[in-house]
Structure 1
Amino acid sequence: MKKNLILLFAFLLTIMAFKPATKKNDKKPKLVVGVVIDQMRYDYLIRFSKKYGNDGFKRLLREGFSLENAHYNYIPTYTAVGHTSIYTGTTPINHGIIGNHWYDKYLKKSIYCVTDKNYKTVGNNGMDGEKSPYRMVTSTITDQLRLAQNMNGKTIGIAIKDRSAILPAGHTANAAYWFDGGKNGQWISSSFYMDNLPKWVKRFNNLKKDDEYLSKPWNTLYDIKTYTESIADDNNFEATFKGEAKPVFPHDIPNLRAKNNNYSILKAIPAGNSFTTDFAKAAIIGENLGKSNYTDFLAVSYSSTDYVGHQFGVASKEIEDTYLRLDKDLASLFKFLDTEVGKGNYTLFLTADHAATEVPSYLKSVKIPAGYIKPVKFLNFLKKVTNNYFKSDELIENISNFQIFLNKEKINELKLDYEKVAKTIANEAINYKGIYKAVTAKTMQNTNFTNGILNSLQNGYNQKYSGDVLLVPNPSTIVYPKKGTTHGSGYSYDTHVPIIFYGKGIKQGSSKRKYEIIDIAPTLSNLLQIEFPNGNTGKVIHEVLN
């Protein structure tokens, strides 16, 4: 009898010992933080690594799980499309965001991805808050988290750019905030989310930290002579701020702001990222994120990296300095999360909405093929084509985002065959210098491309919204001024981005397997044990999950 009691007691102790551990493993993070860095190439992690501190990018690489061969799997690689694809787990073929701006063939005009005149600006009397996510036709992981918790838990989106705050936060967000520059210098929102700014946002705006950041020149963080990972500061491939003679350090921001739309210049310097970090911290405190019995979601996008990249290019001293400073901002944010939410209580991912090409004029200077396409010259070329074949130069309604929209009313009026017109234009466009591929909408609908550049083009094609002929330029061939650079293609320089998972539920390590940007949302959904976004086509990355 005594022996049996001893065995029973030992058995109960074993159960008690294992029970707390099981409960702890099943517990979800109190907060999920999505960090999207606008225009970050994967190679920035490597190129500047010797100058990064230990608590920013290196902390994520050391303690998190890094996907070294992660890519975008569609064209076009633009900001709005990237943010939407990250959070919906699918591509434009399903979610409906086909650009930042695109030609609406029903309204017969160019539209902006988040403009919505049904709502008003909250924060001032301007028009920059007339926004909503209604053109995104699928749900996001942030929506699914809210639904899974019966609309409990908070979702907040933050970015200097409106589209980068609105689209990740989804349709059910408690709030999205973005920066209204110009003469205002305020974080604002839309009546889609609220009637008035919360007190904590008003307090933050009243601090006027933007004036503080704009009171100092932008000089390099370290001695510029040590910036050996970038080309000469004084070169012919970078654009200047208005009022500057040369695109060189130091940039006299206090004296330049008046000629560069006042507060808007903050977007185009590294201090814009610091300012975003400050606001994200204020949101965590002001909204008590990570403090309830539900999982909250904070979507933060760093936009200034994109402005700097466009103006100065990916090989510039300015882009190097921007990332060295961003590394410090991230370290500050991570330390803040450790203190306010608790290390081990949050899950974080870091990625980019697209990357960027080297400045084509710079590539040409070192004998690498690259080039520019001038839209007016290309349009005139196509008008000659339609005149030669169909005796009309009115068959093209719009060319934008490397898509050609045909004038179907004119085609019908002239009793022409629509498919023949489209096919003829595609066949002739391929002869234009700088155009690598041209396919019709019918080809996109009737042919299944399983790999390569045409697969990416197909993943970005939306039958309802996209054009009648789709174009792919040559590598590093862009529609842009010869100073500075851009993005949008399906080539690796635009598609290869970092994806790093960190925190609760995440393994430590790295992988060289190829993954796609649309895999982030289902992976997080699996971690949170919620339903995938309703248009999801991505897969769970098992490697990263404990």
Structure 2
Amino acid sequence: MTLPALRSLAAAATLALAALPAAQALAQDAKPKLIVAISIDQYSANLFDEWRGTYKGGLARMASGVAYRSGYQTHSGTETCPGHSTLLTGKHPNKTGIVANAFLDPATRRPVYCVNDTSVVLAHDAKASPVGPARLEASTLGDWLKETSPQSRVVAVSGKDRAAITMAGHKPDGVFWLFSGYGFTTYVPPGGDAAKALAPVAATNRRLAPRWTQRPTWTYQTPACRAAATTVEIGGKTWESKLPPDGYAASIPAALINSPAGDEITGEAARDLIKHYRLGQGPATDLLAVSFSATDWVGHRYGTRGPEMCEQMHRLDATLARLFVDLDALKVPYLVVLSADHGGSDIPERLRAQGYPAGRVSASEVMGRVNTALMAEFNLKKPPLAGSPEEVMLLEVAGVDREKLMAAAVRTLAAQPELAAVFTREELLATPIRKGAPPEEVSLKERFAMSAHPTRSPDILSALQPLTSLGTGMNGDSRAGHGSPWNYDRRVPMLFWWKGARAEDRFIPVETVDIAPTLAAAIGLTPPADIDGRCLSLPAGSGVACPKAP
């Protein structure tokens, strides 16, 4: 980004921050004309707690409403696609069908991307890998809204396709995500009008176009972030956590997306979409879903405790402030919820230096040991297992009883010190899931059952020991990760705000599946009877009127 652009951005952010207190003084009594559902990818409750006192913009506003500090993605598979699928469906992944970022295709028994959809094509490039909502087995708040109120507009946007699509549902008026090197795209039926589908983001993409060839910069805009710089040894090599990161702009598109700029671009698109669709200005309630992806991109590459995440938190705060200025300008009652698809943790080496028992695990070493043991036990010449220690598939082995092989595989996997628990898919499918059980007390088996699907899950699912990451960390894309069943990956904030909301911290744990029924109650919708969540009672002014228990 050029220096003039940065100065312009900073000036806009200053104006946005200054406008927030006045907006908070306005009271809201009417039914919301607009629901805004915000997800921050990998925004753990730990991140919220750590940075809450420093926020001055949009995140400060969200923290000043009703704040559930212990929301839970209750399931075990804490990845982007499953987590987003819970936010506006009210269902755990075992019911949404989105049990992982990639899962087994029932027809081919091969891994397939969670939003792979061969019934559509991408609007900007019909030859690109198609994505759409076909594999989402649940309806969303937007679907309920469109069915009851066809005049309502449902719009979603994100840096990631899987986030936008799983929040938008099956019947959105518009769903858009960032395609590296191009801009925001969407899907259309084969032969559909691509230009018409892309029209809502055409202006956004025109502004964005020059930036794909302009080498970006990422420097300290918040002086206090300099103190978080560290030097860490990973795999015998020294890595400096600093700004700008080493090699940051080697690829311009990657640098633009995998930094705070990625969320700033998404925020611009969201504001453009508000204007294009005239959200909140029509005869019925509208829904805008926005997922900000950069916290996840930064967390994977640089961890959660360095200057990179510090700058990300401050710049995202300002990005949300600009979004709120545009929402306030609508002069209509609106209700906002902010949560996350999953949490996350820091780089194992940095955690270990702080005294935590963190470490890394080689998937090939664990699987090698297990396969070697099974080959010896059954006198086999080839490994009988495929996949990773966390997701194991039994291969067809002639002359070997499958049940005996399964039992031996579970026993051998469970004996590995890197693994905390091992379950078969059939065992998990038979496990009762207690609706409304305290999410922090749900057993490990129940967490896995919430992520188990009869045709999409592998034969065996395992949990790594806490604070353990797969891989060497030498790949800059994955120095830190998530996806575990442990609370640092499950616990996320759930924040509700509306004009006139008073600050109220709520400490009793709740679940992300509670968000959809709560929003539904605010606009008079009845969710499907088989949802897993419940309506959360919010103070007067929010519009939420939870149905009385039978």
Q: What is the TM-score when the length of structure 1 is the normalising length? A: 0.85
Q: Is the 8 A contact 1:313 1:485 kept in 2?
A: yes
Q: Distance in 1 between matches of 2:232 and 2:143?
A: 46
Q: Distance in 2 between matches of 1:321 and 1:239?
A: 27
Q: Shift of the alpha carbon at 1:185?
A: 2.7
Kindly, what percent of the aligned residue pairs are identical? 24
Q: Shift of the alpha carbon at 1:124?
A: 3.9
Query: Paired residue for 1:359?
Result: 347
Residue 414 (1) aligns with residue 438 (2):
no
Residue among 344, 354, 357 paired with 1:369: 357
Query: Paired residue for 2:534?
Result: 539
Structure 2 gaps of 5+ residues are 1-27, 435-441, 546-550
Q: What is the DSSP-based 3-state SS (H/G/I as helix, E as strand, rest coil) of the residue aligned with 2:232?
A: coil
Q: Structure 1 374/39 Cα, relative in aligned 2: closer, same or farther at 3 Å? A: same
Q: Structure 1 59/117 Cα, relative in aligned 2: closer, same or farther at 3 Å? A: same
* Higher Rg: 1
Query: Paired residue for 1:204?
Result: 204
Query: Paired residue for 2:244?
Result: 250
Q: Deviation string for 1:457-477 (max 9, x for gaps)?
A: 111111221122110110011
Q: Distance in 1 between matches of 2:107 and 2:373?
A: 25
Residue among 302, 306, 310 paired with 2:296: 306
Residue 28 (1) aligns with residue 35 (2):
no
Please list, as runs of the form range in 1=range in 2, the aligned pairs for 1:232-271 lying within 5 A after superposition: 232-236=229-233, 246-251=240-245, 257=249, 259-260=250-251, 262-271=252-261
Please list, as runs of the form range in 1=range in 2, the aligned pairs for 1:465-480 lying within 5 A after superposition: 465-480=456-471
Q: What is the TM-score when the length of structure 2 is the normalising length? A: 0.85
Please list, as runs of the form range in 1=range in 2, the aligned pairs for 1:80-479 lying within 5 A after superposition: 80-104=81-105, 106-124=107-125, 126-128=127-129, 130-149=130-149, 151-181=150-180, 184-192=181-189, 195-196=194-195, 197-208=197-208, 211=211, 214-224=214-224, 227-228=226-227, 230=228, 232-236=229-233, 246-251=240-245, 257=249, 259-260=250-251, 262-339=252-329, 341-342=330-331, 345-392=333-380, 394=382, 396=384, 398-400=386-388, 402-407=390-395, 409-410=396-397, 413-416=398-401, 418-448=402-432, 451-479=442-470
Q: Is the 8 A contact 1:141 1:533 kept in 2?
A: no
State the one-letter code of the partner of 1:457. Answer: F
Q: Shift of the alpha carbon at 1:100?
A: 0.8
State the one-letter code of the partner of 1:236. Answer: E
Q: Distance in 1 between matches of 2:246 and 2:280?
A: 40
Q: What is the DSSP-based 3-state SS (H/G/I as helix, E as strand, rest coil) of the residue aligned with 2:416?
A: coil
Q: Is the 8 A contact 1:237 1:359 kept in 2?
A: no
Q: Deviation string for 1:369-402 (max 9, x for gaps)?
A: 1222212112212212321332236564532481
Q: Shift of the alpha carbon at 1:92?
A: 1.6
Q: Shift of the alpha carbon at 1:480?
A: 3.1
Q: What is the DSSP-based 3-state SS (H/G/I as helix, E as strand, rest coil) of the residue aligned with 1:208?
A: helix
Query: Paired residue for 1:21?
Result: none
Provide the alpha-carbon RMSD of the alignment.
2.7
Q: Structure 1 210/454 Cα, relative in aligned 2: closer, same or farther at 3 Å? A: farther
Q: Deviation string for 1:54-104 (max 9, x for gaps)?
A: x32121222x21101211110100000010011111112111101111233
Q: Is the 8 A contact 1:56 1:330 kept in 2?
A: yes
Q: Is the 8 A contact 2:133 2:165 kept in 1?
A: yes
Q: Shift of the alpha carbon at 1:265?
A: 2.1
Q: Is the 8 A contact 1:356 1:494 kept in 2?
A: yes
Q: Is the 8 A contact 1:88 1:140 kept in 2?
A: yes
Structure 1 gaps of 5+ residues are 1-23
Q: What is the DSSP-based 3-state SS (H/G/I as helix, E as strand, rest coil) of the residue aligned with 1:178?
A: strand
Q: Shift of the alpha carbon at 1:214?
A: 5.0
State the one-letter code of the partner of 2:406. Answer: A
For this pair of structures, how many residues does the alignment match?
A: 500
Q: What is the DSSP-based 3-state SS (H/G/I as helix, E as strand, rest coil) of the residue aligned with 1:542?
A: coil
Q: Structure 1 112/400 Cα, relative in aligned 2: closer, same or farther at 3 Å? A: farther
Q: Is the 8 A contact 1:361 1:370 kept in 2?
A: yes
Q: Is the 8 A contact 2:220 2:226 kept in 1?
A: no
Please list, as runs of the form range in 1=range in 2, the aligned pairs for 1:482-521 lying within 5 A after superposition: 482=473, 484-503=479-498, 508-521=503-516
